[in-house]
Amino acid sequence: MKFLKRKEVEPIHLPGRRLNLIVGQKDAASPSDIMTMGFAHYSAESGPMEPHHHVEEIVYIMSAQDGYVRFGGFGEAANELGARIPLEAGMILHIPDMEWHVFEYDEGGHVDIIFFYSAADVYSKGQGMRE
């Protein structure tokens, strides 16, 4: 068993977000071939996030100030996202396999989440992986 603290896991700076990858296949503090878990922070510090999609995901909103999610569309439909949905601490999002989504914020705002999903090669209908 490993005991980890977010503040002790070196952040990974990506376009649109800063990650603390706790469990996962690549660059994670604790390796796993079947699951991914981490923290993500979205704010002006990292710039705007591009819409993305991947395997089914669960997101817990830890903190949000003037933060939003937009989602919708599957396949190549990144430009079919719906209206902004305001986020608040304590919300849980269950994002279906391969659904496009993006986290956004107004000036001075942020979104801070915990995310959980299986490794992409374990299960993804949209990517033709095994069921």
Q: What is the pLDDT of residues 38-91, one digit of tens each?
A: 999 999 999 999 999 889 999 999 999 999 999 988 877 677 798 999 999 999
Q: Identify whether the C-beta of residue 96 lies closer than 8 Å to the C-beta of residue 56.
A: yes
Q: Domain coordinates of the chain in residue numbers?
A: 11-60+74-118
Residue 128's pLDDT is: 44
Residue 130's pLDDT is: 35
Report the mean per-residue pLDDT for the chain: 89
For the cut 90, the answer to whether the pLDDT of residue 127 exceeds it is no
CATH architecture classification, 11-60+74-118:
Sandwich (2.60)
Tell me the chain's radius of gyration from C-alpha atoms. Answer: 15
Phi, psi of 110 (to 5 degrees): -160, 165
Residue 121's pLDDT is: 59
